[in-house]
Structure formats: structure tokens, C-alpha cells
């Protein structure tokens, strides 16, 4: 059984077996994050970061320094985190797989961009990614920020994620209809959590619209801070 806690936007806490995994911890400045929700979830073993945009990188640096958790992310993001004093970093690239904290972690493709803004200039931070986390019994896929692409079928073929999270907000990622096609036709997961929606006015996609389009698997309708066992 997985325990999935949506922390608002694309931030997710995952309990998989005995391990605690945090994805894209944008907490400070996230209007949908319930203050103090992360602290209630206990220790963090692993931080998985899909790309370098501020609304995903978020609080990675202070959380990693405070907890000592290992951060898994794309090579260029890993270099940036190292320059910020994060010591435990595992750099990767799409297609690769490693074992860390007793889990298998794989980076997948995502169609988006990745940068951080410093002095009003965008600093390139490599390719954006999705991330699959697995143990011997279960698997979870965080798609990060991405467009729809048919090679999501290969993610299903290679890693067979049982539960996952897909962005639905539109404008910067898939909207609800495209995300539903990703689930219905390519990923076919048992359950899917809609993310990257409702945080800001520009993100117009809704969970209601997504749910109305999905015909494979269960749509997880969590409130920020709510934990679902699946």
C-alpha cells in the first residue's frame, strides 16, 4: 500500500514501504500548501526533483540541509544544488536507474523546460524529467511538468507504475483532456492524482474536468494536506 499526501501544486509526500519520499517541495510561497503539513509526516529519506523551475525546486535546499535526505534529480540541477551547499545529491538523466535509500529510482522524459531565474536572467538547468520510484512491491510515477507524448506507453511498459500524478493545469503543462488521454491510452495506472492545478489563476484546468474525461483507473481527489492510502 502507498500513502500519498498532496501538499498543493506538484508537491507530494509518498510513503512507500518503510521509506519516505518528497517530490518537488514547493512549499514557501505556495498558496495551497497547508502550513506545517510536511512536519507532520515525519522524516524524509529521499527528495525527488523533476526540474529546476522555482515552483518545483521550491524548498529543496533547506529541507535537504535540515534532514540530510538524498536528492535525486537531473545532472544540471544536481550541480546547482551542490553549489547551494546540498551534500547528498544523486545526479541522473532520463533512461537511467539507480538504487538509493532502498528504492529504485528512474528518470523519464518530460516535455517542458527547466531553469531558475537569477538577477532576472534564466539559468538553464538541463532537461526536465518525470520520476518513477519503486520497491519490490509497488511503484509510483510523478510526471513533473509535461506535455502529452505517446512514449508514455514505454513508461508503462518499462516501469509499470501502479499509482501516479499528472499535471492538469494547462498553459504550462497538459490540460485535463490531454492528461486524461495520457492515463486512458498510455499509462493506464490503477489510480492517478491530478496536480499542478488551482494554485494560480493562470492554471485553468480543473480536477472535475479531468475526472470527467478519465475512463481508466481511479482519480484521487485529495485536498492539500490530505493523505490517501491506495
Contacts of 27 (CB under 8 A, 6+ apart): 7, 11, 33, 38, 58, 59
Total domains in the chain come to 1
Range of the domain at 87: 2-229
Class of residue 223 by CB neighbours under 10 A (exposed 0-12, middle 13-18, buried 19+): exposed
Give residue-wise pLDDT tens across range 58-96. Answer: 999 999 999 999 999 999 999 999 999 999 999 999 999
Give the global pTM: 0.98
CATH number of the domain that residue 215 is part of: 3.60.15.10
Give residue-wise pLDDT tens across range 161-191. Answer: 999 999 999 999 999 999 999 999 999 999 9
C-alpha cell belonging to residue 189: 495506472
Amino acid at each position: 500500500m502507498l500513502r500519498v499526501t498532496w501538499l498543493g501544486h506538484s508537491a507530494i509526500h509518498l510513503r512507500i514501504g518503510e521509506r519516505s519520499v518528497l517530490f518537488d517541495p514547493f512549499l514557501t510561497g505556495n498558496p495551497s500548501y497547508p502550513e506545517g503539513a510536511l512536519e507532520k509526516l515525519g522524516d524524509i529519506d529521499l527528495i525527488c526533483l523533476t526540474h529546476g523551475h522555482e515552483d518545483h525546486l521550491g524548498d529543496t535546499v533547506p529541507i535537504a540541509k535540515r534532514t540530510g535526505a538524498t536528492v535525486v534529480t537531473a545532472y544540471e540541477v544536481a550541480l546547482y544544488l551542490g553549489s547551494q551547499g546540498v551534500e547528498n545529491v544523486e545526479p541522473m538523466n532520463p533512461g537511467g536507474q539507480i538504487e538509493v535509500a532502498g528504492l529504485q529510482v528512474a528518470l523519464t522524459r518530460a516535455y517542458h523546460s527547466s531553469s531558475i531565474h537569477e538577477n532576472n536572467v534564466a539559468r538553464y538547468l538541463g532537461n526536465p524529467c518525470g520520476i518513477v520510484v519503486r520497491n519490490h512491491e509497488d511503484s509510483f510515477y510523478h510526471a513533473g511538468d509535461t506535455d502529452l507524448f505517446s512514449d508514455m506507453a514505454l513508461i508503462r511498459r518499462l516501469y509499470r507504475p501502479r499509482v501516479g500524478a499528472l499535471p492538469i493545469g494547462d498553459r504550462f503543462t497538459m490540460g485535463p483532456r490531454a492528461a486524461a488521454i495520457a492515463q486512458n491510452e498510455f499509462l493506464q495506472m490503477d489510480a492517478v492524482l491530478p496536480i499542478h492545478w488551482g494554485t494560480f489563476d493562470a492554471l485553468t484546468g480543473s480536477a472535475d474536468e479531468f475526472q470527467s474525461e478519465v475512463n481508466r483507473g481511479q482519480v484521487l481527489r485529495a485536498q492539500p494536506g490530505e493523505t490517501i492510502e491506495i
